[in-house]
A and B are shown apart, each in its own frame.
Chain A
Amino acid sequence: MPFYLPTKCKHFFKHIYDPKNRTGTKLRLYFDEYYLCLMVGLVAEKYDEDAELERSEITDRYPAEYAESREYIAGLLFASERSRRGIPESDGAALEKLMTEYIDATSKTHLNLKGEGRLNQYAARGMEIMLDVMNPPIRLDEFLLEYLECFREGRFIRG
């Protein structure tokens, strides 16, 4: 399953998204929006079983700017799922079983359809949490400061 944006994403980020922007004062990729939502869902360790996603995919691989984060995103998925399922740190067999559930060596993301689908579900929940905690941003600089503050203060976890 490729990456799909949560349905409310485009509207939420509309003032700070512009694919033609060359100055860097706007987000230029839909994947930027997706990533910002995903990180919120993962930190809260919450996903939406019935995620509301857009019908058309944004990409089936990580854009070049995110390619180096492939291993870290997969690692975070394992860490979050282990924590959610209550797998003890000492249980190597259960952890390896969890990995087999999500890994696909032939996939560009290292994850199989189930793994990518689960990331989509985390991103969808992340979007909902952001809507609860933040107002739709007008400026990217102000948004980034508030986003980082929410992480630091644990507001995304409480949300």
Chain B
Amino acid sequence: MRIRILGWQYENIRRMKELSVDLTKEKGEVYRSSLIMMPNGTGKTTTLYLIRAILSGSAKDWREADVRSYCPPFSDVSEGKFILKIEFDEDVYYYVLHLDYETGKAWYETSSAMMEGGYEEKRRIPIPLRGIFDNKEFINRFVFDGEQARKTLNSGSREAENAILYLYQLDKLDRLSDVMDHLIHTYQEQSTGRATARSVKVFQGKAEKREQIYNALLQDGEELEYRLVQIKDKKRRYENKYHEILAQDSHLKTEQEELMKENAVNQDDITRTINGLMNCIKKPYNLQLDYHTRLKTLAENMQVLKLPKNTAQEFFKELAESNECLCGHCIGERERKIILDKAKEYLGEDSLVVVNSIKRALNEYEREDTCDKLEKHLKELLEEETQIEHGLNRLALQMAEEGNQEVLQLRDEVKRLGQQIIDGERKLERLSTNDYITNTGLNPENNIPKAKTAWDEAKVNYQKVSGAYDFTRKAERMKEYIRRVKNNALKRLKTYMVQETNKKIEQLVENDIVSIKKIDGHLVLEGKDGVSEGQTLAVAYAFIGTLFEHSQYEFPFIVDSPAAPADLSVRRAVAQILPQLFEQTVILVTSGEKKGFAEEFYSLEDVQYLTLKGEKDQPVESIPGRPYFEQYQEKE
């Protein structure tokens, strides 16, 4: 399906009294690229929000204050409207978002040639797009801004993975599983087996209660995990800020740098010493003098006692098979049994070799004093580490004495967050572990695996009394297949996305090596904790380009200030790549984005230029054409 934005209209929305933006050419087709110059304060962000609100239907949840925030300042108008004109394949839809400033309510109307009777008082989206458009996060993917780019790389977000799920409709497999659940439920309701209706009800109630507990624990776990990511992120930011503040004082900065340098050397040395010590104690005789004494005593005894004896087990076995002993005595059954019993006390020939190798090893080794030296050195290093930590604390105190109390607050906050992380991780472990030997007191009310087992048991009991056991088992197996299909498809899509996105990033980022390692909810970068704003944009655009490339839907791309934080080289690269990614791109820019970005479009065909201008406290007006677009930039 092809989706095009044909234009939009504002009526009494902030500084827009009555204004139309038309993105079509003479024959009704849209321009491939539309550059709309909107100086700061004319409603760039507002426009983006309103388009998103219409596509996602999110305005119905707005609070009264949200609705009234769109009211023109110092005006007594009672209603505002935003009308969006969209083409889905050949069908044109008009969406009206009504904003009632008196009641604080927002509602939608839709009109299209497909519908009879003019406007219908609801937001009506073509059927194939309903599951997709109802997801606000997904709309943000193609109605895009810098915040969205950051989210793609935010470690707390699952946004990148969700985008793949929705666009390639893998979430429909979840819905299929839901249908299966519904079928199971219906089957259970209808078949009561041989049990009484009352007992079926009791078992059903138990199973439902167990399910609720399990789901609640799962949710607790997810929330805890999310909180931990946030806390870790906050701790990292505070630590950076702490060091930045110390760096403001040139004297303290030098001291801090020296201490940090010493710390790095100290940590390297600690690592080396640990490795040395571990290697050393892998020889038991180095670990303790007593072991050395035991081993050497054993070796000496073996020496003195002439062990192992030269006579091997095999000698007695051969002897037992003879009829006559070496001394000439006859060997009967009784003698044979005694000889074979005795043979067990002697080592076999192969074992003699082993014992000799042990004896040799014990005789030959020499105890080293490396272990003692390394132990002593490690102690010194740990003391030095404490000294360095004290030194850094002293700098913070010095800074505080000079009037900067924030540094102490930051230090305390980092400590507090550190403790929160330890507590949170402990809680999370108790919630999700299945190690019940070391974690005592866990039960189906406070531990996810136990809750799952209890729920499964309750389900089976219910299924058995309801006579739906076999049906449910088959359905569960089917659900498992569906789950695997979904996971497998998602895994392969993610691998593909990473490969293709990395190719695009290579084109966009010239002076640095940036690549995506994997998609784990968000995009995880290879070997980097973070990248610059410009690089964040480059990664996000490259990902979007790949994401939409093979979708069966042809989406437009609307973006607010696409190049603002980027340097000139990234701006040019973004300007070259954006028109290639989508059949229709609508770009809202400020005059500051002319250099390196907007000017790259001047040489392209099929580009529309619009300038929305208006003096402060005056309604905004729209002026089409490139000359004014360029001139306006020059004026500002």
Contact = CB atoms under 8 A, between A and B. Distances in A.
A75 B362 contact: yes
B146 interface: no
A8 B375 CA distance: 27
B358 A141 contact: no
A110 B350 CA distance: 11
B301 to A, nearest CB: 5
Contacts of B309: 92, 96
B493 interface: no
A58 interface: no
Contact of B270 (A76, A79, A96, A141): A141
Contacts of B345: 93, 96-97, 100
Interface string A83-113: 1000001101101110110011110001000
A144 interface: yes
A72 B283 contact: yes
Contacts of A151: 287-288
A110 B358 CA distance: 9
B324 to A, nearest CB: 26
B344 to A, nearest CB: 7
A82 B371 CA distance: 28
Contacts of B194: none
A11 B271 contact: no
Contacts of A82: 298
Interface in A107-159: 110, 140-142, 144-145, 148, 151-152
Interface string B312-323: 010000000000
A74 B291 CA distance: 12
B284 A96 contact: no
Contacts of A93: 345
A102 B439 CA distance: 36
Nearest to B381: A141
Contacts of A50: none
A151 B285 CA distance: 12
A56 B494 CA distance: 34
Interface string B269-286: 011111101110111110
A119 B65 CA distance: 73
A32 interface: yes
A78 B299 CA distance: 11
Nearest to B355: A99
B236 to A, nearest CB: 19
A75 B346 CA distance: 18
A68 B348 CA distance: 24
B294 interface: yes
Interface in B302-352: 302, 305-309, 313, 344-348, 350-351
Interface of A: 7-8, 10-12, 23-25, 32, 35, 39, 42-43, 52, 65-66, 68-69, 71-76, 78-80, 82-83, 89-90, 92-93, 95-97, 99-100, 103-106, 110, 140-142, 144-145, 148, 151-152
14 contacts: A8-B437, A10-B435, A11-B435, A68-B283, A72-B284, A79-B298, A80-B294, A82-B298, A95-B302, A96-B309, A100-B347, A110-B354, A144-B274, A148-B287
Given A39-B284, A75-B358, A75-B362, 19 more contacts: A11-B438, A24-B278, A39-B287, A43-B291, A52-B437, A65-B279, A66-B282, A75-B294, A89-B297, A96-B308, A96-B345, A99-B351, A100-B313, A100-B347, A103-B355, A105-B354, A110-B357, A141-B382, A148-B287
